[in-house]
Amino acid sequence: MRRLFNEHKARKVIELNGAWSFALDSENNGVEKKWYDGIPDGETVIVPSCWNNELRLLNYEGAAWYQKSFETDGGAVMLEFESVMSQADVWIDGVKIGDHYGAFTPFQLFIDDLKCGEHLLVVRVDNILNEKSFPQKRTDWFNYGGIARDVYAHELKGLCIINNHIVYTLSKDLKNANVSADMELYNATGTEITDTVTITVGDKVIFSGEITLGAHERKAFKTSETELCDIELWSCESPKLYTSVASTSTDDLVEKVGFRFVEVSNLDILLNGKKVELLGVNRHDEHPDWGFAFPAKLMKKDIDLIFEMGCNTIRGSHYPNSRLFLDMLDERGILFWSEIPMWGVGFSEKTLTDEFLMERGFVMHQEMVKYYYNHPSIVIWGMHNEIPTYSKDSYPVSQKWSKYLRANGGNRLITHASCHPMYDCDMDFDDIISINIYHGWYTYGGYNGNLGDWNKMIEQFGQRRIEKGWEKKPVIMSEFGAAALAGYHCHFDTVRWSEEYQRDLIEYCLELFHKTDYMRGTYIWQFCNIRTSPTMDINRARYFNNKGLLDEYRNPKAAFFKVKELYNKFAKEGK
């Protein structure tokens, strides 16, 4: 299940989930052995899934092969993978048809002419982390491998709509929208073709016109603007969605869009002109039994739990989430921060001048925009997390990426999560300043690891933002928290790792940040415990990051109820 709604009525889409044949390639010589012609002695696995959730593959990192047969009526086919972790190489009937790098965004591969009948689809998947990977080897989440989200074969006929961004600007009073479409079209036939493309938003036609494409041509097309009057806005309280249908005589693509305007104004974050305090959590899209192949039903449950806590926002730490999850947030009116998996300590200073890596990161931003543009819930693009933003080499990277996101990413605020607030220079490019600090849990140079450190930090950074000319930018605490082992209690003394220590630290922080004059939001680290990597050697009991407000099976810890109490109180009293 990849969306909450049907994207196609006219187009035939073959679901390729279910039973696949699977073989490990621990010697990494499957290509040499020509496994793309068919893998030997495969065992049956269910796709989508992560292999680390199979027996005895808990820690397997490396290559593995998947294969499945499917039938088509013949003609052009687009294969669509929602997520393969991380490198995918794809063959049909022994012929390589493409590859993709990056675990968390969809990708599409085109075959212009496939014969009618049965075909063998073979995918080599490699989840190795190394000096060229995103994330890098040292990462505080578990590096699952596999085909983790859905797979489809689209049978394409005539002039097809591959992608459609509904682009809009709102009038000053937010009552009307100037709307256009930014499409990617494909001619599935072997001859030139002309067809009428029609695009509706709600019950209004925003474009209808003839378009000509050469044989098997793939082309971007931007329509002119049409005004939609008296639109109903999308907001947290009333998440109004409009259905947009793009169609030709042979093909169609349905999208959901919401009209809203997010901006910053003199320290405030405004949604449709109204102040919002971001009351959020960081969430990994992970479960110990499913890895990153997160089931739809559990997504809904996580969202229910997050709602129950009084949150109005989620940070998708540290990678793009599925389109299905975003559909759910669009429907529920929860704001989302989407970022690429450029994570922390792994990205050392020297990686920032590695052209191959930085290009990889840039492509990840382009893909994130391409596949997620229409989701109104995404109000923040995050460029990276805890990289060395004090170094001169991160500055041009953030400059380039923020410029790209501003020009192409729609109406969204730009940020990066920084753990060096006193040395960071890249905050120049942010709309919102985001700080990750763990006073009361970790010890930092110049601080002694106590809760009292927070006041010192707030004062020092309060000063620095004025010196740097950032005094109008809202500041949010994008990470803070403490680990607690679920069920470990210590009622009479304050003991680290107990549920009470975590609860009290979070209570202290939330109250303090809420009343800090230049702060406008909080994302607690983190929604629930997650499995982490054996390379994370500090403070990771059980190889889990235990800073969840819930344990990894979604049982609440004491802090969950405290957050619920405080977030509901803050929402009532306002900032």
Q: Which is nearer to ligand ADA, 48 or 316 (CB)?
A: 316
To ligand ADA, the closest distance from the beta carbon of 12 in angstroms equals 42
User: Which CB atom, from 123 or from 482, has the smaller least distance to ligand ADA?
Assistant: 482
Closer CB to ligand ADA, 53 or 317, in the complex = 317
**Smaller CB distance to ligand ADA: residue 386 or 453?**
386
**Tokens describing residue 233:** 């806005």
Contact 104, 341 (CB under 8 A): yes
**Minimum CB separation from ligand ADA for residue 342, in Å?**
11
Residue 274 CB, nearest distance to ligand ADA (Å)?
A: 30
CB nearer to ligand ADA: pick between 292 and 525: 525
Collapsed DSSP state (helix, strand, coil) of residue 80: strand
Nearest residue relative to ligand ADA (C-beta): 140
What is residue 472's three-state secondary structure? coil
Phi, psi of 474 (to 5 degrees): -65, 145
According to DSSP, the β-strands at 262-265 and 413-418 are unpaired
Q: What's the min distance (Å) between Cβ of 522 and ligand ADA?
A: 14
**Is the distance from CB of 71 to CB of 119 less than 8 angstroms?**
yes
Write down the least CB distance from residue 80 to ligand ADA, Å: 30
- Rounded to a whole number of angstroms, the minimum distance from the CB of residue 213 to ligand ADA is 45
* Distance between CA atoms of residues 399 and 342, nearest Å: 15
- Contact (CB, 8 A) for 215 and 190: yes
Minimum CB distance to ligand ADA, residue 503 (Å): 17
146-111-11-152 Cα dihedral, nearest 10 degrees: -10
The verdict on whether omega for the bond into residue 526 sits within 30 degrees of 0, i.e. cis, is: yes
Q: How far is the CB of 79 from ligand ADA (least distance, A)?
A: 32
Degrees, nearest 5: CA angle 319-322-323 = 130
Closest approach, Cβ 283 to ligand ADA, in A, equals: 11
Question: What letter represents residue 242's amino acid?
Answer: Y
The least distance separating ligand ADA from the CB of residue 199, rounded to whole angstroms, comes to 40
53/51 Cα distance (integer angstroms): 5
CB of 385 to ligand ADA, least distance (A): 5
Per the CB < 8 A criterion, the answer to whether 72 and 153 are in contact is yes
Closest approach, Cβ 378 to ligand ADA, in A, equals 19
Instruction: Annotate 392-407 with three-state secondary structure.
Output: CCHHHHHHHHHHHHHH
- The residue ranges of DSSP E strands in 148-217, in sequence order, are 151-156, 159-170, 177-187, 193-201, 204-213
Task: Annotate 477-509 with b (16+ C-beta within 10 A) or e (fewer).
Answer: bbbbbbbbbbebeeeeeeeeebbbbbbbbbbeb
Nearer to ligand ADA, 284 or 365 (CB): 284
Quickly list H helices, 125-239. none
Whether 72 and 119 have beta carbons less than 8 Å apart is answered as: yes
Q: Could you tell me the smallest distance in angstroms from the CB atom of residue 69 to ligand ADA?
A: 40
> Which residue's CB is nearer to ligand ADA, number 351 or number 436?
436
Identity of the residue, 2 or 416, whose beta carbon is nearer to ligand ADA in the bound complex: 416
What are the E-state strand segments in 452-518? 475-479
Give the footprint of ligand ADA on this chain (CB under 6 A). 140, 317-318, 344, 385-386, 436, 479, 525, 545, 547
Q: How near is the Cβ of 536 to ligand ADA at its closest, in Å?
A: 7
Spatial distance between the Cα atoms of 340 and 462, rounded to a whole number of angstroms: 28
Pick the closer one to ligand ADA by CB: 285 or 386. Answer: 386
Please, which residue, 20 or 525, has the CB nearer to ligand ADA?
A: 525
Output the DSSP codes for 59-79. Answer: T--SEEEEEEEEEE-SEEEEE
Give the shortest CB-463-to-ligand ADA separation in angstroms.
Answer: 23
Q: Which is nearer to ligand ADA, 223 or 385 (CB)?
A: 385
Look at residues 65, 53, 57, 59 and name the one whose alpha carbon lies nearest to residue 22.
65
Nearer to ligand ADA, 155 or 479 (CB): 479
What CA–CA distance (Å, rounded) separates 301 from 281? 15
Please give the torsion angle defined by the CA atoms of residues 102, 525, 450 and 420, in that order, rounded to the nearest 10 degrees: 40
Cβ proximity to ligand ADA, 152 vs 319, nearer residue = 319
Which one, 36 or 544, has the nearer CB to ligand ADA?
Answer: 544
Q: Which is nearer to ligand ADA, 323 or 547 (CB)?
A: 547
* Angle of CA points 334, 337, 338, to nearest 5°: 125
CA distance 280 to 17: 33
CA distances from 395 to 131, 324, 341, 343 (A): 21, 34, 18, 16
CA atoms of 381 and 365, how far apart (whole Å): 9
